Amino acid sequence: MSGRTPVEGADVCVVGAGPAGGIVADRLAADHEVVVLEAGPRFDPAERTDRQERAIRPAYDRPDVWEMGGPRDAHSASGERFYPLNHARVKGIGGSTLHWQGMVMRLHEDDFNSGSARGVGPDWPVDYADLRPYYAEAERELGVSGADDNPYAPPREEPHPMPAFPPSYSDSLFAEACEELEIDMHSVPNARNSEPYDGRPECVGYGTCQPVCPSGAKYDATTHIESAAARGAMVIDRAPVQRLEHDADRVTAAVYATPDGERHRQEADAVVVACGGVETPRLLLLSESTDYPDGLANSSGLVGRLFMDHLFAGAGGVLEEPTRQNHVGFYTSGCDQFYDDADAEVAPFKLEFFNYAGPSPVETALSADEWGDDLLEGLRDSYGNHVAMGALVEQLPREDSYVGLDPDRTDDHGNPVPDVHWSVGDRALRTIERANEIQTAVLEELGAEIEWVAGPDDTGPAYHHMGTTRMSDDPGAGVVDADCRTHDLENCWVASSSVFPTGGAMNPTLTIAALALRVADHVDGALR
């Protein structure tokens, strides 16, 4: 057997080496023969400072940092809002956690019951109590720094694995304004080490968390892939799965390509598709057959449908005093006070108090038209007194928001590329306005001169791909069941935010990790 040939007698084939695939593989590798197929490369950790340089230098766009783009990653965006897919994801061992921000909140209890509690959208077939022990486990797996000071967070049973990062200096400025407005601030959970944890160092403040952490203090899924490999899993990189072969009831093999131009068939008793909210439905759609003419596992017709992201709302300005921004690349305080006010008219949203408002001097210097003393004077003028707030807003699943295949464009293997057709409804847009009202009120109370507002016309996606293989007890209303197993195929599971029936407004990765741990339990049970 060479390094890229199939493993005989495999129990589990995991497609995708991001956090979901990594966690599933790591959980199962000790007791089962596990193979992981990853479309992208295994990046050399020694190159992370080079990637950081790309993140800072203006010659490179965000996709260049992790080598996204080109024929492999071609995509379309036919919706009313352009979707910059290659800014939103990374292909490689570690997946999009290589470039993520690292925020790890639990969804709220009502997020699992949107239809019942808020009067819009479906309920999940699982609730918070079902996921609660998995959330705690996921926090240990990822390594989360957090505190129990958030009165609006759902109930938890134990402290976070590490203490929270203390509030920033600018948080203390915001705190005075928020107290006047009776707005509560609290810490936020970070998947970033506030102290050494699980063999990884504490954060040393490089300030480029998104898109690259050179120190390894920020969690990324290379951790779980390396652990899975150490337990015996075979991890094959640069092995994009082309289709899932199947009969009417089971996936029989994953057909993957290798850099030498060969194709291989990886058979396994169980298959876990963990390619994120875009490539997961794309792979199922590419695997159409006479049994499944509309795409594999698509008897419901919902594969790729109901695509959701979180929407950004923000506002920023300047004060007449120093605010000490851009020392670190993460934020330390948030506000969930308004989250559970959500109803049919207004969506849940969370507020963020940035520690990286305004320009980073080094980035400004590299794009300036002057140098020497003039440049320094310009940098001193532009840096130092900015403040900003952000927010994430839920969007509801919509029929006109979906991931499909573009029949007119193919990737480097001749497969139709994903078409992210993204649409946003009025409830989300109204909620952005509501978030803006609070943000501008806080900034005005702070005495800031407001310079920008990201409102309904300027919003963009948070790069959280959800909803495209919805979870439901009803085979007609979802692609996977409550165990994240496809309704149509008895040995095929999906571990991804693609199973979220609704999105809430919390960053999704902790929930992805919790569901992946749960999927691993179900796969393990099915194999025994």
Partner 1 sequence: MELSRRDAVAALAAIGAGTGAAVHAVDSDDDTAAPPVETLVAAAEVVYPSELSGVEPFVEALAERRAAGDDAHARGVRETVRELDRHAESWYDAPFVELSAADRDALLREVGADTADEDPDGTTAERVRYYVVNELLLALYASPTGGELVGIENPQGHPGGVDSYRQGPGR
Catalytic residue numbers read 464
- Residue 226 CA to residue 266 CA, distance in Å, equals 21
User: CB under 8 A: which stretch of 45-53, 256-264, 388-396, 445-453 binds partner 1?
Assistant: 45-53
Q: Note the maximum CA span of the chain.
A: 72
Q: Segment 344-363, which members bind partner 1 (CB under 8 A)?
A: 355, 360-363
Output the DSSP codes for 371-386: -HHHHHHHHHHHSS-E
Regarding 194 and contact with partner 1 (CB under 8 A), the answer is yes
- Distance, CA of 2 to chain centre: 33
Nearer to partner 1, 332 or 496 (CB): 332
> Can you tell me which of 123, 130, 198, 202 binds partner 1, judged by CB under 8 A?
202
Nearer to partner 1, 30 or 362 (CB): 362
Regarding 204 and contact with partner 1 (CB under 8 A), the answer is yes
111-119 long-range Cβ contacts below 8 angstroms, 24+ apart: 111/348, 111/502, 111/504, 111/506, 114/501, 114/502, 118/342, 118/343, 118/344, 119/343, 119/344
Regarding 65 and contact with partner 1 (CB under 8 A), the answer is no
> CB-based contacts of 350: which residues, under 8 Å, 6+ apart?
105, 334, 335, 336, 339, 391, 392, 505, 506
Regarding 211 and contact with partner 1 (CB under 8 A), the answer is no
Q: Segment 371-400, which members bind partner 1 (CB under 8 A)?
A: 371-373, 375-376, 379-380, 383-384
**From the CB of 214, what's the least distance to partner 1, in Å?**
8
CB 325 within 8 A of CB 357: yes
> Can you tell me which of 45, 366, 474, 490 binds partner 1, judged by CB under 8 A?
366
Nearer to partner 1, 152 or 383 (CB): 383
> Can you tell me which of 86, 97, 150, 168 binds partner 1, judged by CB under 8 A?
168
Regarding 210 and contact with partner 1 (CB under 8 A), the answer is no
- Residue 25 CA to residue 22 CA, distance in Å, equals 5
Nearer to partner 1, 290 or 367 (CB): 367
Burial class (CB in 10 A: 0-12, 13-18, 19+), 336: buried
List the one residue out of 69, 420, 72 whose CA is nearest residue 240. 72
Main-chain phi, psi angles of 309, to 5 degrees: -135, 175
Nearer to partner 1, 78 or 172 (CB): 172
User: CB under 8 A: which stretch of 67-75, 175-183, 207-215, 233-241 binds partner 1?
Assistant: 207-215
- Sites of contact with partner 1 (CB under 8 A): 47, 49-53, 56-59, 165-169, 172, 194, 202-208, 214-215, 321-322, 324, 326-329, 332, 355, 360-363, 365-367, 369-373, 375-376, 379-380, 383-384
